[in-house]
Chains A and B, each alone.
Chain A
Amino acid sequence: MTKKIMIVGVGGQGTLLASRILGNTVIGEGYDVKVSEVHGMSQRGGSVVTYVKYGEKVYSPIIDKGEADIILAFEMLEAMRALPYLKEGGKMIVNTQKMNPMPVITGAAQYPADIDKKISDKVDATLVDALSLAKEAGNTKAVNVVLIGVMAKSTDIPYEKWVETIKTTVPEKFLEVNLKAFELGYKL
């Protein structure tokens, strides 16, 4: 059975690195893997979506509505936007950070009120203050690795395997912060 994980967030939040850590960890487990990324203009502060799929044989790199086993959301509005992609019985991990999109900044639209409650009412969601944990780890940019830590716990891939991938994926000078961030997420 193919496992389908979707990572959603705002361009610049480090979703690409998160999907690469995930992808590289699961190949170590002998699976076929596809990771679909977003580059270019859409990376500039817009909604970004990456897909990670693994299993015996993976064909399509993308995930359709109602199919994702897990959605890892880096921002709450993006979590809400991704709701239709979660399969029945799927699980959502949501960073409680709010980032106003330009239509909200200009006053053309409102950021949805009580968004955390709305998400929790609809799906099985774990809400995480990943920003505070990233700060605790030493860098607000480590939000992505905190969330990977939270997600890692709900897979059957052992802790050490994740740490191994982080060591090979993350640049040396950010390694300590990222390992700490992963641990904080994992142990939550």
Chain B
Amino acid sequence: MKKLLLGNAAVARGAYEAGVKVVSSYPGTPSTEITENIAKYDEIYSEWAPNEKVAAEVAIGASIAGARAMSCCKHVGLNVMADPVFTVSYIGVNGGLVFCVADDQGMHSSQNEQDSRHYAQASKIPMVEPSDSSECLNFTKAAFELSERFDTPFFVRLSTRVSHSQSLVELSERANDELKPYEKNIPKNVMMPAMAIKRHVVVEERQKALAEFAETTELNTIEDNGSEIGVISAGIAYVYAKEALGEKADFLKLGLIYPMPEKKILDFAKKHKKVYVIEELDPVIETYCKSLGIEVIGKSEFSLLGEYTPAMIKSVVLGEAPAKSAEIGEDIPVRPPVMCAGCPHRGTFYVLKKLGLTVSGDIGCYTLGAVAPLQNVDSVICMGASVSAAHGMAKARGEEFNKKLVSVIGDSTFMHSGITGLIDIVYNKGNNTVIILDNSITGMTGHQDNPTTGRTIKGEPTRQVDLVDLCKACGIDHVVVADPFDIKNFEKVVKEETDRDEPSVIIAQRPCALLKTVKYTGHCEISADKCKNCKMCMKLGCPAISVIDGKVVIDDTQCNGCGLCINVCPFSAIEKKD
């Protein structure tokens, strides 16, 4: 049966058909839907872990115990899981083990644009890269099988456009998912120097076997169109190249992108006058080709930045101009993402801005607090860094600076890696104030449950981690829960806690406005008689409030009636209507 599936759903289907039994992941765009789709299969145990390192270790444990297992993350998530990943390369697998990593070329929803292919080389773990949903399914299945055949974990590398494009796939039945026997095997599974020294030898032997396999595998394909131009490509870049060049070039498409097939590449290059390497981000294939002494054309003509398009490739390889099109004819305003109407974070940032605080920010919807008009995030690095970086800022600049400094971090991000920073503050005598933005969900990635929501990935009730108890157990004596929409009280709380000569945590509690359980009703309306046009409400940066013909108005199609603007209007000019 043919079905239209998102790349991520196809990876999930491939894992299902391969008989995967355990999947543990942390959400991250563009990888999230893989695990969300896995959760729909009752035959598979799946979970959201607090972070990618934990997730990878759960999958590794399941593999050692004899199950096929998988962990999925975005490119920066792989940094978090890197520690166990590098060592499980030495251990190998019992049940097939797959790490699925989705890069975000163009940074649609990420803080950097790193190329995960470097990890394959660095950890000596083979990597496949699909170009469409059908390959997502088939390559994932193959990765499980090859993982067991070569006794190695496998990477499946995706990119935003592969993960988030739907295309047709052929479905088949689930394979036998019986557990492999579990046997105690200290030399293989206990990585301490004496054992690891021997396992490194095994890894290097495996590398040779995989290199040989790369020469013959059907994952790598050659398309001979009788052209003098040869193109070596992989993943999403391949489909762009194929669309751009059609039969005007020959193609060596690498499905197995690590290790690469030395002889196959040399042979392909020999048969072509001109060889292009077309790959987004870093020159990984290009560098390899050049190390073989092949003169390929790559990053001298193609960008290191962002996404490619077929038109770009047509222009470089064929010298063809792009299609004619209409021009906009004037500068038009950009439309950057904004916090939604009714977003609980808006109240928090309104207060932080009013108090003129330095804000150490983190990864989530609330990163948008950096955008005008709120513009009140001073730094964002990675998951959890808001807490630890603020500790560093305070230690560098002293207590006076610290009294005007806060960290903001979401509930899920705090569980991910904010808590270790908080422990650092307590242990090393910091006096920071950390604001946990508890919106009852993991928001940015599209509403996933986490340890603080009280529900599992399958929506089943579970023990909820209590943020207040948790912070207190870490040694924070002052933990205050406050509603960020109660502006007056929230401001008072922030002042008190930042003034304190002790560390403190404020839990800004109000659920995400997009949650089905949140039922704001009606919409807000400005009474023209009472409005003095002071524009206090405009400072909220609410997408529903704007000035039209000199008058402040609320767009009732965008307003969800959250009422925050009512709380900031000094003239009581805003009222709730049904």
- Tell me the complex Cα distance, A62–B164, Å: 11
Which of A36, A64, A110, A111 sits near B310, CB closer than 8 Å?
Answer: A64
B339 close to A (CB within 8 Å): yes
B340 near A12: Cβ-Cβ < 8 Å: yes
B165: interface (CB < 8 Å): yes
Which of B75-83, B236-244, B562-570 has 4 or more CB atoms under 8 Å from chain A?
B236-244
Q: Which residue of B lies closest to A104 (CB)?
A: B333
B372 at the interface (CB under 8 A from A): yes
Q: Which of B499-525 contact A (CB under 8 A)?
A: none
**Given A34-B167, A45-B543, A62 contacting B161 (CB threshold 8 A):** yes
Give the contacts of B440-498 with A (CB-CB under 8 A).
444-446
Contact residue among A23, A81, A101 (Cβ-Cβ distance under 8 Å from B166):
A23
Check if A47 sits within 8 Å of B335, measured CB to CB.
Answer: yes
- In the complex formed, the residue of A with least CB distance to B108 is A42
Asked whether, in the complex, the Cβ of A59 is within 8 Å of the Cβ of B2, the reply is no
CB-based contact B337/A41 at 8 Å: yes
B207 in the interface, Cβ–Cβ < 8 Å? Answer: no
Known: A102-B372, A105-B545. A41 touches B444 (CB 8 A): yes
CB pair B168 A32 closer than 8 Å: yes
Q: Are B165 and A35 in contact (CB under 8 A)?
A: yes
Flag the segment in B318-326, B393-401, B429-437 that touches A. Answer: B318-326
Does B423 count as interface, using CB distance less than 8 angstroms? no
Report if B303 contacts A (CB, 8 A): no
* Assembly CA distance A80 to B329 (angstroms): 10
Q: Closest approach, in angstroms, between the C-beta of A34 and any C-beta of chain B?
A: 5
B: contact size bracket: 35 or more
> What is the CA–CA distance of A107 and B373 in the complex, to the nearest angstrom?
10
For window 336-377 of chain B, which residues contact chain A by CB distance below 8 Å? Answer: 336-340, 365, 367-368, 371-373
- Chain A residue nearest to B33 (CB atoms) is A39
Whether the pair A41, B339 counts as a contact (CB closer than 8 A) is no
CB pair B546–A131 under 8 Å, yes or no, is no
Cα distance A123–B329 in the bound complex, in angstroms: 13
Verify if A140 is at the interface (C-beta below 8 Å from B). yes
Q: Mark B240-256, 1 if CB is under 8 A from A, else 0.
A: 10111000000000000
B334 on the interface (CB 8 Å rule)? Answer: yes
Q: Which residue of B lies closest to A112 (CB)?
A: B332
Instruction: Report yes or no: A33 in contact with B4, Cβ–Cβ below 8 A.
Output: yes
Decide: A102 and B338 in contact? CB cutoff 8 A.
yes
Interface with B: A83-91, A147-155, A175-183, which one? A83-91
Any B CB within 8 A of the CB of A103: yes
Q: In terms of DSSP, what is the predominant structure of the interface of chain B?
A: loop
B261 at the interface (CB under 8 A from A): no
Mark each residue of chain A from 6 to 36: 1 if its CB lies under 8 Å from any CB of chain B, else 0.
0000111000000010011001000011111
Q: Which of chain B's residues has its CB closest to A11's CB?
A: B337
CA distance A131 to B307 in the complex (A): 34
Q: B405 → chain A, closest Cβ, in Å? A: 25
Measured CB to CB, the nearest residue on chain B to A30 is B2
**Residues from chain B with Cβ under 8 Å of A131 in the complex:** 557
Query: Given B166, B244, B446, which contacts A35 in the complex, CB threshold below 8 Å?
Result: B166
B310 proximity list for chain A (CB < 8 A): 59-60, 62, 64
Measured between beta carbons, the chain B residues less than 8 angstroms from A36 are 161, 164-166
Contact A39 B446 (CB under 8 A): yes
Contact sample, A vs B, 21 pairs, CB 8 Å cutoff: A10-B335, A33-B4, A36-B166, A38-B108, A39-B109, A40-B446, A47-B335, A59-B239, A60-B239, A62-B240, A65-B311, A84-B327, A84-B328, A85-B325, A102-B371, A106-B372, A106-B373, A106-B541, A109-B334, A112-B330, A131-B557
Which of B's residues lie within 8 Å of A, judged by CB? Answer: 2, 4, 6, 29-30, 32-33, 108-109, 132, 161, 164-168, 239-240, 242-244, 307, 309-311, 322-330, 332-340, 365, 367-368, 371-373, 444-446, 538, 541, 543, 545-547, 555, 557-558
- Complex A-B, nearest 10 residue pairs according to Cβ-Cβ distance, in ascending order: A40-B109, A66-B323, A40-B29, A66-B325, A46-B337, A109-B333, A101-B335, A61-B165, A59-B243, A64-B311
Q: A59-B310, A60-B244, A103-B335 are in contact. List 13 more A-B contacts (CB 8 A).
A: A27-B168, A32-B167, A36-B164, A38-B164, A39-B33, A41-B368, A44-B340, A58-B167, A84-B326, A100-B555, A105-B373, A107-B547, A109-B333
